[in-house]
Structure 1
């Protein structure tokens, strides 16, 4: 019996040991595969981030050339003399160098048969621009901006690259020299956990920048690196294995502006060194730790659950805060227009419904809502007298209105985590037929989010109140939407909006707020009432109704539609607090105290009773009006 028990004990130990070994091996194998995949993904993401940075950096130069090209072509069409064009290039060169990027060293070109240089360089007599690489590259690109092959400046020793573009006459070329020192510096910093090296090359195999500057200018299609270069072109951005200096390496690459590659090379030994060490360590201590892990697992789970619950709560709070901030931005934008309050929220709501009906996910619906919420961000820089002009805008005023697209783009463009905010702001006034602004984009070349917002924005413009009219009848709105299919609007998106209109039998999709708000002023001193009436006389959206006592105010509130109550505190028979209590029994209309009392305790008491704001006498008219608008719009 004793021997049988011992055998059972030993068998249990053996079975337990085997089970632990099998479990450990399975865990280690799974961990190894995941770690390898994570390491490869992290390395690929590192290169991807550098690609995005370099794309952005080089595209700035491309944008600069395109902007300069537009002005030069305009001057050429006007027949302006070469000296005017040279002066412009000189000013542009100085502007780019001083205000945009010190790497933009100068603008020059071959224009109307003459070589013009914005930094004043005068070439030798035998200098023929048409034979230069920058000129040939621009001609070969046939009107598209192109990056020239990098070269070393003979005077400064800097690595330079020309961004060139052929002009409309098919002969003239404009070009911008850009130093690649920043790209070189960025290349030197590309590593994975301090391991590996990086270089940038063009598609011909010419090394443009390299951690080891001695390799700059080398042709990687020749010699040992030729196999690596072939792998870069053949694998189209996917990591692959190669042999360099008799060592196995993993190569990660991404295309830059479709003309260059950014490449990171890491030996497999260094890439997986940490993983292999960790696996060896796990095998050594796995069995010992297994028992401890089981013991602490439950306790850890309880702690983890508590932490995750707190994180979820925090995340919800951050989401709510983000939504409130976005709503505050939207309210700030809409505050510019006295007549169409709530415009941004309505456009966001319509845009979300459009995406929903087109099969968009919840996340896509939320994203378009936020993009549409800030589509008019640029209006905060448009003068109020233009935004709220009651009559027809002049051409100059309409040009100012058009600027809101560009303004909004530049306000939002640095929100890198959500780039489509800026995209929606810039392009929501593009037309499907290409006659919109600011860029004249056409058809599906217009970003999808902007095409969606364009439909929602135009719909709300027709169904919102204006200084000169109320919301249009639903049939007219539908006819205009039908008429705009394929010309102003993406026909597919417009069709979805038409189905929404057809389902809206009660015409609920429109601005329902009244054009004029009734403001009840309650004050026992007539002079104060007359003062407020005088302040509001030029505000067509506000109608002032007077009450000289709390009792009279209660009667008016009970019998008329009141949108805001301005209530004095010190009054005979019934003070402001007592009047407020009685009003609250009838309606929850917003209330603002207007009083000479300057006591924070009274302000706090008013706040606790739900008073929207507290204005102390004497007050500035502009402060008074802003308070009114902040409460009722």
Structure 2
């Protein structure tokens, strides 16, 4: 039971561990995927928001160029002079810078082959507007407003961007210069929960704005960031992971006005820190939960084991009580026959041995032992005179003997806890050839347990003492078992009994008790000694010796094997207590006191000294005989 409970405890912990581990793994995996997707979506949303603000800002520049272009085209159609157009450009430049955005630094262009600048800048004599990128880009765009590749302004040392447009005469171009201060502010706002950094680069890899202003103007298309730049260009409007040096980063990229790339970069350790913390928390919680389960299971196991131990102890006690009751009943049955002491126990023992050789389990063997122990229960109703009759039984007496299987069956049938208890009692005298009693069952129709008991019972009957004989020789017993194969006995079971006989070289499987028992009676009054002899004169099993003093009794005990000592308490010189004390120095013979006193203290004193029983004078013959028989047998 202990091993089973420990195995069950370990199995429970393993199953709980696996269940929690699998549940935690699935939960963490689902949580991680969702959290990562949510984080990436949040990052993309944050970048998209900044991108929309950049688009809106740059769109105002595009709109300014569009409106200015429309007005100048009108003025050209109406033949306005260049002075009038220059005046308009100055007015518009001032308006945009003061009222729209301080970073709209001014509008300029080539009108009727003359360079006009709204902020009054005068170029060098060798300045050729048509060779400038803002002019070339406008011509290339063929009437559409377009962004010019950003450049580093020599005067302000800042990154500038121009928006240019070719007018309808196909040779005039106007352009708006924009400092990227506002765009820089938008770039510095590119973060996710305050983490990471952002930048904007053009198609060539030039960093236009950056969260760290020191990086503005750098070229990421070259050097260690070249691979990153290629991924940004190839994965436009996408999010991807990238290993930069020893760090793993997540890159969020999107286009701005279909001209540039807005990028947000966050270190994965920072990006997923909260997720990692939550996962660690979840794992820790799972471990704590498992530890709670371990503690609970341990406490439960201890309580369960304690309960099981108590149940085992109770069951053992109950089984011990049951066995004691069965043994007592068996002794009660055997007490009917004064010559075959221990018959029921021996039959039970032999039946168990046969069952073991038949391959029965230990539990089955124990069951068979208990059934065989009470196989003769029905004899309790047969008169003692018939059971102990030394001579041949009459037909009427044998008919009464035949009743004991039926009587035993009806006495035992109400005990259902022991399987086949009543069956063994009823059918153990059935014969394999159908000539047995009480039902005349034949062959395998006879219950197996009854066939086993039948062989064991017959064997012990021959190997036990009777009133008219001692146990038969072993070879005679073997011959009778051999002779009964197939007629009286199941041949297979008989063969097992024969094998047991052959292995019993010293003939130990028999009743070893002597038929005649020597009883020593010690009393200082001869009349009492004569009375005892008179009571036992018709009891051939008892050999009575007498002594008139304690000293004489000690001498007899030292010279003879005595089964029982009947010792008078009130004797001169040395009383029964003193005599018993001296006897115990060399012998553990069974002792019963004979006394005329009826003082309970004396009786209790005798009991504490291990005296088996006591007889009070004058005693009845029947009480006397039953007492000595109970002590000896």
Task: Bin the TM-score by the shorter chain.
Answer: 0.5 to 0.7
- Which SS does the other structure have where 1:586 is aligned? coil
1:7 matched to 2:275:
yes
| 2:494 aligned partner | 494
CA contact (8 A) 1:557 1:586 kept: no
| 2:439 aligned partner | 439
Structure 2: stretches of 5+ with no match in the other structure: 1-268
1:522 matched to 2:522:
yes
Instruction: Output one character per residue of 1:592-628: Cα deviation in whole Å (capped at 9) or x when no partner.
Output: 0111121222222211211111111122111111111
CA distance in 1, matches of 2:597, 2:556: 25
Q: Residue 361 of structure 1: CA displacement?
A: 0.9
- Which SS does the other structure have where 1:565 is aligned? strand
| 1:208 aligned partner | none
Q: Residue 293 of structure 1: CA displacement?
A: 4.7
Q: How does 1:106-185 map to 2 (within 5 A)?
A: none
| 1:465 aligned partner | 465
CA contact (8 A) 2:334 2:342 kept: yes
Q: Residue 340 of structure 1: CA displacement?
A: 0.6
CA contact (8 A) 1:333 1:376 kept: yes
| 2:195 aligned partner | none
Q: Residue 294 of structure 1: CA displacement?
A: 4.8
1:612 matched to 2:612:
yes
Q: How does 1:227-626 map to 2 (within 5 A)?
A: 293-626=293-626
- Which SS does the other structure have where 1:588 is aligned? coil
- Which SS does the other structure have where 2:565 is aligned? strand
Go from structure 1 to structure 2 and tell me whether the alpha carbon gap of 1:524 and 1:4 turns closer, same or farther (over 3 Å shift): farther
Q: Residue 290 of structure 1: CA displacement?
A: 7.7
- Which SS does the other structure have where 1:614 is aligned? strand
Instruction: Output one character per residue of 1:339-372: Cα deviation in whole Å (capped at 9) or x when no partner.
Output: 1111000101111111111111111111111011
| 2:184 aligned partner | none
Instruction: Output one character per residue of 1:473-522: Cα deviation in whole Å (capped at 9) or x when no partner.
Output: 11111111111101110001111111111111111111110111101001
CA distance in 2, matches of 1:382, 1:595: 35
Q: TM-score, normalised by structure 2?
A: 0.56
Q: Residue 305 of structure 1: CA displacement?
A: 2.7
CA distance in 1, matches of 2:304, 2:354: 40
Q: Residue 291 of structure 1: CA displacement?
A: 7.8
Number of aligned residues: 365
CA distance in 1, matches of 2:271, 2:375: 83
CA contact (8 A) 2:522 2:549 kept: yes
Go from structure 1 to structure 2 and tell me whether the alpha carbon gap of 1:351 and 1:295 turns closer, same or farther (over 3 Å shift): closer
Go from structure 1 to structure 2 and tell me whether the alpha carbon gap of 1:4 and 1:615 turns closer, same or farther (over 3 Å shift): farther
CA distance in 2, matches of 1:363, 1:551: 54
CA contact (8 A) 1:413 1:419 kept: no
CA distance in 2, matches of 1:476, 1:516: 23
CA contact (8 A) 1:413 1:422 kept: yes
CA distance in 2, matches of 1:290, 1:336: 66
Q: Residue 528 of structure 1: CA displacement?
A: 0.8
Q: Residue 574 of structure 1: CA displacement?
A: 1.4
CA contact (8 A) 1:334 1:342 kept: yes
CA contact (8 A) 1:430 1:438 kept: yes
Q: Residue 6 of structure 1: CA displacement?
A: 4.1
CA distance in 1, matches of 2:554, 2:424: 48
CA contact (8 A) 1:565 1:592 kept: yes
Q: TM-score, normalised by structure 1?
A: 0.56
| 1:271 aligned partner | none
Q: Residue 299 of structure 1: CA displacement?
A: 3.0
Q: Residue 418 of structure 1: CA displacement?
A: 2.1
Structure 1: stretches of 5+ with no match in the other structure: 21-286
CA contact (8 A) 2:367 2:419 kept: no
**Aligned-CA RMSD value:** 2.0
Q: State which structure, 1 or 2, has the greater radius of gyration over its C-alpha atoms.
A: 2
CA distance in 2, matches of 1:526, 1:547: 9
Instruction: Output one character per residue of 1:411-437: Cα deviation in whole Å (capped at 9) or x when no partner.
Output: 000112224110000000000000000
Go from structure 1 to structure 2 and tell me whether the alpha carbon gap of 1:4 and 1:609 turns closer, same or farther (over 3 Å shift): farther
Q: How does 1:47-126 map to 2 (within 5 A)?
A: none
Q: Residue 16 of structure 1: CA displacement?
A: 6.5
CA contact (8 A) 2:430 2:437 kept: yes
